[in-house]
Amino acid sequence: LSGQATCEPGLGVVEVLNRLPAPHALHDTAAAAAIKGDFSETSFTVHPSANGGRGVVQRMWRWQSIQDFNYAESWFAGRLAGKPVWQGLEWIVPGHEHNSMAILDEQDMGGIRPGNADAVAQFEYLFDRADSDFTGGKAAGFEDPGNRGEPKQPNVTGDHGKSVDGVEWLARHFPYTSYAVPAHAERQGAYLPTENRGYNVNHFRDYFNAGVINPGAHYMQQESLAFGFESEPGHQFANGGRGTYSAGRPTAGLWTYGGAGAYTAAEVTEPGKNFDGSALTDADITAINADITATAQFSSTINPTRPKARIVQSRVGVRTMWDALLAEGRKFFYFASSDWHNRGAFSPFEPQSTLDAWPGEYQKIYAYGEQTDGNLDHVAQAVLEGMRAGNTWSVQGDLIDQFYFVACTTEHPRCAVMGETLTIYEDEGGDIEFRIELRDPAGENFSPYEFNNASLAQIGMQVPTNQPVLDHIDVITGDITGRIAPTDPAYSTNVSNPTTRIFATFDSSNWTAGADGVKTMSWRVPLSAVHNSFYVRVRGTNMPQGTPNETDASGNPLGDHLADNVPCTATGAGTTTGFDPLACPAHLPTDANGVKYLDADVEAWTDLWFRANPIFVNYETE
């Protein structure tokens, strides 16, 4: 936009916006000669008087904006904040949904002068399905073999192979300094070769295999630059479904469970199937929709015209698709994201939201890494290595703010933390001791709502929404049975681990509570009782077992669409103007009697979880 708005003390947002130039002032911000690529494919029409009366402004290719503009802005922001800020890409994946990727090489976050993000730009040019430029990248040398280049492949609908090639390219050129992590993995349903939408289990296996950086290692020690997925999506404050997940799309699993997608928080079917393995029929879809309508008054239903092969059903339980991957000993990990766009119906400066939270406002990932010298490049690399190693945990609403999980042998002491493998031996003797230490902080989180948690009010608990309390944690375990070969039919059909189970639950009755909200719990497993490899992962929540519309009797999260049934009745102090933190907000859905029910940010702040990545135990007979 040409021109500038005058910013003076005391000006409101609306006043500033009113001083912006009129829309017809839109013009090329870079001279035509500076736009790299094919002009005919990158221009778009605007107001007839724009750009000297030409009525056309040239659109810049995404790869050029990364290379010439975005990186410099990211670098400068990091310098101002004194924090590592690097240029990544929401990769529009051939055949699939989005993917969070980046290449740290040459970005030079700690230097006085910026480096470059040429490698990220080159990746976008070569492998992004939305990039149809076949000329500008050549001018930039992106197809030059001497510059890691290769011929650009055409964009073909459903081209999963091109996305695998992209991961392999990263593994060849940037194995330790790049990552590729599928985002909001369930949102668009199952993959179909005739569409560019979702992911199936074999695609996660393909990416992990293509990104392995130490192929000679034992299969339970292998690491990959494709080291997990964002199964806990951003957009947690969205009206009509956390994460913008819904049966109407249809999302794989149809909705979230405790804010997480069904691939990690519930049990799922194969695409287009029922749980008994039979093919999904029109009658099945009718029955599913009838159940949704009967149990969730505001939720969308499956559009019966959607391809059945795109529909993945879900049910409450712990034998998840993630567990199917962990059962192969894959170091494939769980992550949450913010995916910040905007606050929906509200401005960025208002406390309410019908779409997004600010980064870190609601979801956080904690990653443990090696101590560094403070150089921002080294800090960024340490964060990446901590993520790839899986020594991380994700939390909603600051339910906890510290978490440590370790397993040690007692006879010949050695230990492993999250993401690591502890090798034990058949005749070793002694025990494996598992220990968890976490902190449930006192006081308020970032929730703007001070009225009592509506879901807990159903069971007579009076807890302010902005002061959550950890109710319990579950220790979940499953056997590791080895890798499934790509030639095995199970590679594409195995979506659960039948041995996954809740091993133990800890709450105020059996954890040790210390000062400042610290809680400690431990247990021992005799090595004489171990006869196979296994993994152990942990989750926790503020919802007790059996909370209506939130958890089942075992503490598993129920589908978040059921929050439609939880009334929000706080009326506050009777304020009629402005925001009242003691009153249920106006943006909640209302039934015919005027009763409000949970949705959007209120639902998300009500139902909180943390989830930690597993420790692997490798059992050796000799």
For the segment 218-245, what is each residue's pLDDT rounded down to a tens digit?
A: 999 999 999 999 999 999 999 999 999 9
In angstroms, the CA 585 to CA 351 distance is 11
Q: Are 455 and 446 in contact (CB under 8 A)?
A: no
Q: 444 vs 16, 399, 448, CA distance in Å?
A: 33, 10, 9
Backbone phi, psi, residue 205, to 5°:
-65, -40
CB within 8 A of 210, min separation 6: which ones?
A: 164, 167, 168, 171, 224, 226
Q: Which residue is listed with tokens 């712990």?
A: 318
Q: Which residues sit opposite 584 in a β-bridge?
A: none
- By C-alpha distance, which of 506, 606, 500 is closest to 548? 606
Q: Would the pLDDT of 6 be above 50? A: no
pLDDT of residue 235: 98
Greater model confidence, 313 or 112: 313
pLDDT of residue 38: 62
- By C-alpha distance, which of 401, 526, 543 is closest to 461? 543
Angle among Cα 554, 559, 563 to the nearest 5 degrees reads 105
Under DSSP, is residue 137 helix (H, G, I), strand (E, B) or coil? helix
pLDDT of residue 41: 45
Low-confidence winner among 10-24, 199-213, 264-278, 451-465 (lowest mean pLDDT) = 10-24
Alpha carbon 495 to its chain's center: 19
Average pLDDT over residues 442-456: 97
The token pair at 217 is 């290692």
The token pair at 606 is 């009500």
Q: Are 62 and 124 in contact (CB under 8 A)?
A: yes
pTM across the whole model = 0.92
Q: Which helix (H) or strand (E) holds 166?
A: helix 160-173
The conformation of residue 70, written as its DSSP 8-state character, comes to: I
Q: Would the pLDDT of 334 be above 60? A: yes
Q: Is-cis flag, bond preceding 468, omega within 30?
A: no
In angstroms, the CA 388 to CA 350 distance is 36
The token pair at 387 is 């993520």
Q: Would the pLDDT of 23 be above 80? A: no
pLDDT of residue 108: 94
Confidence of residue 304 (pLDDT cuts 50, 70, 90): very high
The token pair at 100 is 């969070």
**Which string of b and e fits 413-430 if b means at least 16 CB within 10 Å?**
eeebbbbbbbbbbeebeb
In angstroms, the CA 469 to CA 565 distance is 22
pLDDT of residue 145: 93
Q: Would the pLDDT of 4 be above 50? A: no
In angstroms, the CA 231 to CA 394 distance is 11
Residue range 597-609, pLDDT digits in tens: 999 999 999 999 9
Rg (C-alpha) for the chain, rounded Å, is: 25
3-state secondary structure 194-246: CCCCCCCHHHHHHHHHHHECCCCCCCCCCCECCCEEEEECCCCCCCCCHHHCC
β-pairing, 333-336 with 228-232?
parallel
Confidence of residue 33 (pLDDT cuts 50, 70, 90): low
Cα-Cα end-to-end distance for the chain: 69
pLDDT of residue 50: 53
Q: Which residues sit opposite 425 in a β-bridge?
A: 620
Check residue 475 and give left, alpha or beta (phi > 0: left; psi -120 to 50: alpha).
beta
β-pairing, 98-103 with 421-425?
unpaired
Report the amino acid identity of residue 348.
Answer: P
